[in-house]
Every structure is written in C-alpha cells, then in structure tokens.
Structure 1
C-alpha cells in the first residue's frame, strides 16, 4: 500500500519518490520505494488536457463499439 509520495520540481525537471509498504494480514512486513525522474515539465494547460481526455474517450468508445 502507498505510504506517501514526494515531488521535487526544479524548472522543467522533477523527481518523484513513491514510498510504499508491503502489508500481510494488516501487518507491515516490508517497505520499498520507487524513484522516477521527470523532464520536459511545463505549465498546466486545461484546454490541452480537455482535448486529450476527449480523444481518449473517443478512442475508448470506438474500441468498445466493435
């Protein structure tokens, strides 16, 4: 299960760390983390996201209708 995540940004680059626990019968039996580097970050653009979501749903609908 996810314990927490961290995001550090510096200009167009960033680093993400996801920290998680391995749980069995409600008891933590191990811990882990995954680190990823991000590049090419830019400002959030709502209209671009709306277009991407619309294309996704159109492709999904086309797939499900076959």
Structure 2
C-alpha cells in the first residue's frame, strides 16, 4: 500500500504543477491581448487624424484644379 500512497501524492503534485503552468500561460496570453489592444487603440487614434488630413489635402487639390480650369 505505500506505493499507492506515494503515487497518489506524486499525481497530486503533478496536477498542481500543471494547474500552475496553465494559469501562468493564461495570464501571459491575457497580457499579450492587452498589449495588442493598447497598440490597436493607439493606431486607431493616430489613423483618424491622418485620414482626415489626407481628405483635406485631396479637397484642396480639387479646389486648386477647379481654379486652374476656370482661369
């Protein structure tokens, strides 16, 4: 019977180690997801002003072309 006791204790330790490893992996994944979301938010925050500025430039070019056609 002592072998069964040793094996059950060993199994409990192995299961606990697996649980700890899985929790750490899950935490790392959530950290990576958080970093990606922060990067995406920064990217979206900078893209909108850039897109707006490009649109302003396109409008100014069209107005300039129309002025040249009229003259």
TM-score (norm 2): 0.31
Specify which structure has the bigger relative contact order, considering alpha-carbon pairs within 8 angstroms and separated by 6 or more residues: 1
Could you say which structure has the higher strand fraction?
1
* Larger Rg belongs to: 2
